[in-house]
């Protein structure tokens, strides 16, 4: 079944981002579900759930994420999961959630260049070379 954007309500906002900073599990599911229901009531075109600080997900959380994805897809909107840590990513991969919901990792800032050998005229780490007269 495909969603017809013409028949769905107007999108109220282009993007809503939600950060999960603790466990996303059965114990916290009612609270998270209320927040996500409020987000969906805004009729966003896209929702991104940031999992960078999430410490745990369980089967109930995965079911909630799939439900949110289905509800959004019916309106032609998209759900994206962002930056799960490697442990959470393995859980999501085991559940094959990435086959349905995009999981993205933002680009990391570039690393500073590796220090090169200092030239003899440049002090290295707080030490100075003092030339002695011959």
Q: What is the CATH number of the domain that holds 70?
A: 3.30.750.24
Query: CA 103: distance to chain centroid?
Result: 7
Local confidence band at 107 (pLDDT 50, 70, 90 cut-offs): confident
Q: What is the mean pLDDT of the chain?
A: 82
**Helix, strand, coil percent values for the chain (each to nearest 5):** 30, 15, 55
Q: Please name which of 58, 5, 72 lies closest in space to residue 28, comparing C-alpha atoms.
A: 58
pTM of the model: 0.71
Query: Over the stretch 27-38, which tens digit does the pLDDT of each residue have?
Result: 999 999 999 999
Q: Is the separation of the CB atoms in 46 and 15 below 8 Å? A: yes
107 φ/ψ angles, rounded to the nearest 5 degrees = -65, 140
Residue 3 resides in a domain: no
What is the residue range of 42's domain? 15-104
Residue 69 resides in a domain: yes
Provide the domain count of the chain: 1
Query: Over the stretch 39-88, which tens digit does the pLDDT of each residue have?
Result: 999 999 999 999 999 999 999 999 999 999 999 999 999 999 999 999 99
H or E element that contains 70:
helix 59-74
Residue 6 resides in a domain: no
């Amino acid at each position: 079944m495909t969603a017809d954007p013409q028949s769905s309500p107007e999108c109220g906002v282009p993007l809503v981002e939600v950060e999960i900073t603790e466990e996303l599990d059965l114990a916290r599911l009612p609270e998270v579900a209320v927040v996500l229901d409020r987000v969906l009531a805004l009729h966003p075109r896209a929702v991104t759930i940031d999992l960078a600080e999430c410490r745990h997900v369980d089967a109930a959380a995965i079911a909630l994420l799939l439900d949110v994805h289905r509800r959004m897809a019916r309106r032609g909107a998209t759900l994206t999961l962002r930056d799960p840590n490697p442990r959470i990513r393995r859980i999501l991969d085991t559940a094959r959630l990435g086959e349905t919901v995009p999981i993205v990792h933002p680009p990391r800032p570039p690393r500073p260049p590796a220090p090169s050998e200092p030239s003899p005229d440049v002090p290295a780490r707080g030490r100075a070379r003092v030339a002695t007269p011959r």
